[in-house]
Amino acid sequence: MSEQKTLVLACGALAREIVDAIGLNGWTHLQVRCLPAIWHNTPQRIPEALREKIRKARAEGYRDILVAYGDCGTGGQLDAMLAEEGVERIAGDHCYAFYAGLDSFAELQEQDPATFYLTDYLARHFERLVVRGLGLDRHPDMLGLCFGNYNRLVYLAQTHDPALQHRAKAAAERLGLAYEYRYCGLGELADFLQQAARQEGAEPWPA
Q: Residue 204's pLDDT band (boundaries 50, 70, 90)?
A: very low
Average pLDDT, the chain: 92
Residues facing 9 on adjacent strands: 33, 67
pLDDT tens, residue by residue, 10-51: 999 999 999 999 998 999 889 999 999 988 888 999 999 999
pLDDT tens, residue by residue, 87-130: 999 999 999 999 999 999 999 999 999 999 999 999 999 999 99
Please give the Cα distance from 17 to 189 (Å, whole number). 9
Q: Is 154 helix (H, G, I), strand (E, B) or coil?
A: strand
Q: Which regions of 82-193 does DSSP assign to beta strands (E)? A: 88-89, 115-118, 152-157, 178-183
- Under a CB-based contact definition with an 8 Å cutoff, are residues 153 and 175 in contact? yes
Does one domain contain both 89 and 14? Answer: yes
Does one domain contain both 7 and 88? Answer: yes
In a domain, 115, yes or no: yes
Q: At what angle do helices 77-85 and 46-59 cross, to 10 degrees?
A: 20
Looking at residue 4, its pLDDT comes to 61
Does one domain contain both 125 and 143? Answer: yes
Side chain identity at residue 92, one-letter code: G
Which domain, by its residues, includes 58?
2-94+188-198
Q: How many domains does the chain have?
A: 2
Does one domain contain both 7 and 89? Answer: yes
List, in sequence order, the alpha helices (H) in 1-129. Answer: 15-25, 46-59, 77-85, 95-100, 102-111, 120-124, 126
Looking at residue 2, its pLDDT comes to 52
What does the pLDDT average to over 149-174?
98
